[in-house]
Copies of this chain bind each other. A is one copy, B any other.
Amino acid sequence: MTATTDRPARNGVDVPNLFATINAVKGTPELAKFQFRASNRWLEGTHSRTVIESFNGAGGSHSHTTAFQYDADHPAVLVGKDEGPTPVEFLLHALGACLTAGIANVAAARGVTLTSVESTIEGDINLLGILGLSEQVRNGYERIRVNFKIAGDAPAEKLRQIVEQSRSRSAVFDVLTKGVPVEIAVQTP
């Protein structure tokens, strides 16, 4: 890893700082423990709003530069008012954005300058599950496909390896493909 710390910033990635961060965490593994959070409030019908504002990690508490707000809803065809995308569409956003951030970091660390990274992320879902009309059909996506178009100053094979390395270290890819335990607690008046 030390061999690559003399890489300059590239693709808008501060490579020296990225390696300094990795080395700091290597020395003090406790810094790697993060907790992300969001708070959601029901508005009306299937419409709700989430605020994403603070998180813990690297041994401290942090605030985002702003309190990010996102609405979600169901579309008219699913008896909502389309005040935002459906919750399942945000999963596709999370996946595309996670893989893409990784691609930029990995490319920068490997000395590759990217010119463009675009992706489409599609999820197939059969609503017989969530509508309670079939016990054989799962509630969630049956499969997700991601199609990347990537260009930069490296041969095709090297660009593909960058995508593959991003996939192998993607937090969202890991959660979506392997699942994670979710606990739900309920407080009533």
Q: Which residues of A contact B (CB under 8 A)?
A: 11-14, 17-18, 21-22, 25-26, 29, 32-48, 50, 52, 55, 57-58, 62, 64-65, 68, 70, 72-75, 77-82, 84-101, 103-105, 114, 116-134, 137-151, 156, 159-160, 163, 167, 169-189
When C-beta atoms are compared, the residue in chain B nearest to A83 turns out to be: B65
Contact with A142, one of B74, B75, B180 (Cβ below 8 angstroms): B180
In addition to A12-B44, A173-B182, 14 A-B residue pairs with Cβ atoms within 8 Å of each other are A11-B45, A33-B124, A38-B92, A38-B96, A42-B103, A42-B104, A48-B100, A62-B77, A68-B84, A72-B93, A72-B94, A87-B98, A88-B175, A130-B170
A140 with B186: CB separation less than 8 A: no
Given the known interface contacts A29-B128, A46-B104, the answer about A88 and B40 at a Cβ–Cβ threshold of 8 Å is no
Chain B: CB-nearest residue to A180: B141
> Does A147 contact B48, Cβ atoms closer than 8 Å?
no
Decide if A133 touches B26 in the complex (CB within 8 Å): yes
Q: A38-B92, A145-B185 are in contact. Are A97 and B48 (CB under 8 A)?
A: yes
Chain B residue with Cβ nearest A20: B79
Is A184 in contact with B167, judged by CB distance below 8 angstroms?
Answer: yes
